[in-house]
Structure formats: C-alpha cells, structure tokens
Amino acid sequence: MPTLATTPELIDRIRKSGLVPHSDLQAFLTLEPSSNHKNPSALLDGLIAKHLLTRFQAERLVAGKYKGFMLGSYTILDRLGAGGMGQVFLAEHAAMRRFVALKVLPGNVYEDDTARERFFREARAVAALDHPNIVSVFDMNREGKLLYLVMEYVEGVSLQAVIEKDGRQSPAAAASYAQQMAFGLQHAHERGLVHRDIKPGNTLIDRAGLARLLDLGLVRSESDSDSKLTSPLGGGRSILGTVDYLAPEQALDSSTVDIRADIYSLGATLYFLLAGHPLFPEGRAGQKLMWQQSREPTPIDQLRPEVPAGLASIVHQALAKKRTERFQTPLEMAIALTPWVSGLVPPNGNLIVAPPYRPFLGRGASAVVSDRPSKRTFSAGLPRASSAPTPHPGRLVATASPASGVVRLDVPMEQDQGTPNAYDASVATTIEDRTRHPHPAPVSASRLTLILVAVITALVVGLLFATVAAILFATGTIRI
C-alpha cells in the first residue's frame, strides 16, 4: 500500500469520506496505542484490523480519493468485478445493514441512449423474474449521471473461477450445475426472455452448491421488435455475447435468436465444466466464430472416457449446429440430465471469499447474504409459492432445501381428453442428496425433562410409602 505524505492528511480524508463515524475515529485515535497511528500505513492497518475500514476503502483513500464511497443509501465496501456494462461493487445499506451487490453503469455511457436503454431493459427483465437459480434485483436507482442496479449479493464463486482454480468437474457436479442453470433459463423462457450470454463467468455457485444465473445485460425479449437494442455500441464494440459460448445463429444475427441459442451456450458451458477448457481452446476470436458454424469440438467422451455415454450424448445434442436438432426448451435438457444429478454439489469452500466483517453485524449475521427463504420452492411452469407447490399437469415442479440437502423433481403426466403428452408419468423423479446419513429425530429437551420428573416423582413416592410402612410395623399398628 503506498504511503501518504502525513498522518493528518489521511485523517482529514477519512473524516471527509464519512466512512468512519467521528466518535469511532476519535475513540480509535485516543484509545489505541500511538504506535498504531504513528504513520499513515500503521493508521490504515489499525483501522482495517478494527473493521472500521475495508482494504478496498483504504486503497482508495491512499490514492487520494475521499468521495464516491456512498451511493444513495449504500456504502461501497469492495469491488467485485467489471464487465461490458459496468462495474459491480459489494455494498451495505446504511440503515438496514444488509449486504447487496451494486451494478453501476459508467457515467460516460449515461449519455449513450442505446447503452442506457440496455441498462433499463436489464432492470425490467430481471425484475420480472423470481427464481432461486437467478440472482434477484431489488431496485434500480440513479445518482447524478450514475445508474445502478441493487442486486442480491451471493457469497459464492463463478464457475469460471472454479475451473480455473480447481480444474474440470466430476460428471455429477457438472450435471448438477447445468441442470440448475436450465431451471433458471426455463423460468426466463416462460416469460419470453432470452439471456444471450450464458457462460461459466455468468453463473455463481454458493457454499451450498446452488447455482444462480446473473448478468442479463444482453437479455432479449422475444416480443421485442426494436433491433436497435441488439446492434453494436458506439466505437465498434459489439455485444453479441461471448465467442466461446456463442450459438452459430447468434454470431450471424443476435437480434432474432430464441431460447435455443441459450441451450447451445448451456451445452458449451457443460462441455467446459467436463473438459476444463472451451469447445475450441486454440484460435483467435474470428476463427472461433467460423468454427462455431462449421467445426465439431472433440467429443467429450474422447477427452474423458469416464464421462457416461448418456451425459456425453446430452452435451452433443445441446451443441447441435442446427437449432431444430437441439433440446427445444431448457426444461427438456433439465429432465435429460436428471439421471446424473444426485443433489447439490458444494464447491471448494476455499475459493469463496467471505464479505468483510462488520462490527455492528456480528460474524454470524454477516453470513446472511440473501433475503431468500431457507427452503426454496419453485416451479419451472408456475410462479413460486411460499409452500410446496402442487404438481400441475405437464409442469416440472422442483423443491430444494439446502438444510436437508434434498431436491425433488416431479414431472406428472398431462391428460388432455385421454391423450397423454410427451412426458410419460415414469419421468417423475426424486433426487435426494445422501451425503448426510439420516438419523432418528432426537428427543426434545422438554420431553427429557418430563421423563426425568416422572422418574424422580415415582422414586420419592415409593420411598415415602416404604418409610410409612416401616413406622407402622415398628409401632405395632400393623401386624402380619
């Protein structure tokens, strides 16, 4: 960390920033040993150790910045990442003390009508979605020329980072992540939306193994006839998607693609999870675009013979060049993956960076990073309900409880004047995570107390009866 000229200069910046309440800063300067703030670096280290500043905030202060830490009602704590549509920050609501993720559109892009409309479109699109496998958006705000989305903060890791740091995944883990992504895509599809940028970097896995799709900056409504929103941005930049996961038809005209383009991207993501590299690991972007049109990737079962033939066949079908030969809906692909899914698969916990400790939250509360209920109930065909959904004809109903590690999928048969639909009743499937061995329910503390009281009472009554009888015998009142 660079060193500032003087300690008083740093203290002045901290005060101007409003990051540390005046009383807390004064108490730190008064009560802490002078060695903790004899120079700027020691002062910052001490404030970080006391959780009064985050390292990100300290680095900004060192760089001479004391503005921009507050955005509306939120305090910026850290920078989580950046993309074509802006930066994402970890923030905390000043009053509610809740962690959120803020996606901020660059100020200079605010003047670009097309880019600004894309941002509004993403906000509207995500606001219409409510699904455990899609990151929620709580609000959209503006601060001067800065537009930002207030999103659910997920304490997790992207699939891209999982592969980069842990290598290719087991067939069970890859199938689990891909199936959950398909659930989220099905929810979006039923609301007429196409994501258009499905890839490992846009999928987060939390500590329980629950996958969530994010970054709908390229989302397209199938009822949207305004092709301007899918045209290249100024300066020659194009937002077609990501080359390694781009469907062949999307490379030609991204304004007319449907959900089957997302299915291709999901197939490419599943291939990446199993192979540890994209479909075409070599070559420049232009070459890869051509190969997406004309070349087949190395079959996954040739790269990894241990991958089940059925799972390899799913990958191959999802990656068909002709969209009519792919799965036609994400739901179809999710059902096909069912035999290889055995429950949620948590990622390596060491890959997940915990949010900064905040003294007013307490460590336990800082782990609560989502407003979602602990038991997740959702349906690929129906709106979410607060209780377990009733199976509906022809709809896949899924319930997931991270606490119990159980995921249940039901695909009942639909009857239409005696004619069953394409989903046979035999497809109804239950998937249970057996990683935790079932145990009998423990006896509650209240029940143990009642049992103990009953035993003691019986002993006391018996002892009293024996004593009275002995006295009566001794006095001759009772004779045998």
Q: What is the pLDDT of residues 168-221, one digit of tens each?
A: 999 999 999 999 999 999 999 998 888 888 999 999 999 999 999 987 755 665
Query: What is the residue type of 263?
Result: I
Residue 398 has pLDDT above 70, yes or no: no
Return the domain boundaries, the chain: 1-65, 68-153, 158-349, 445-480
One fold for 68-153 and 158-349: no
- Residue 476 in tokens: 């001759």
C-alpha 356/C-alpha 367 separation (Å) is: 10
Span 34-48, average pLDDT: 82
* Helices 171-189/309-318 angle, 10° precision: 40
* Helices 171-189/259-275 angle, 10° precision: 170
Q: Which of 24, 45, 139, 197 is catalytic?
A: 197
Residue 476 has pLDDT above 50, yes or no: yes
**CATH 3.30.200.20 is right for the domain spanning 68-153:** yes
- Residue 454 in tokens: 């009953």
3-state SS track over 284-300: CHHHHHHHHHHCCCCCH
> Under a CB-based contact definition with an 8 Å cutoff, are residues 154 and 147 in contact?
no
User: H helices within 50-135, ranges in order?
Assistant: 55-62, 113-127
Q: Is 197 known to be catalytic?
A: yes
Q: How many CA atoms lie within 13 A of 128 on its CB side?
A: 16
Q: What is the DSSP string of 132-195?
A: TTB--EEEEEEETTEEEEEEE---EEEHHHHHHHH-SPPHHHHHHHHHHHHHHHHHHHTTTEE-
Nearest to 353 by CA among 12, 54, 118: 54
Residue 410 has pLDDT above 60, yes or no: no
Share of the chain above pLDDT 70, in %: 72
User: How do residues 56-109 score in pLDDT, each as one tens digit?
Assistant: 999 999 888 888 899 989 999 999 987 666 789 999 998 888 899 998 887 777
Q: Quick one: how many helices (H) and strands (E) in the chain?
A: 15, 17
Pick the CATH number of 158-349 from 1.10.3720.10, 3.40.50.1100, 1.10.510.10, 3.90.1300.10: 1.10.510.10
In this prediction, residue 434 has a pLDDT band, given cuts at 50, 70 and 90, of very low
Q: Which range, of 45-49, 78-82, 237-241, averages the lowest pLDDT?
A: 237-241
Phi, psi of 443, deg, nearest 5: -70, 130
Q: What is the mean pLDDT of the chain?
A: 77
Q: How far is CA 42 from the centre of its chain?
A: 37
In this prediction, residue 245 carries a pLDDT of 93
Residues 6+ apart with CB under 8 A from 391: 397, 410, 412
In this prediction, residue 226 carries a pLDDT of 46
User: How do residues 353-363 score in pLDDT, each as one tens digit?
Assistant: 888 877 654 33
Q: Give the dihedral sign, CA 367/370/375/379.
A: negative
Beta bridge partners of 26: none
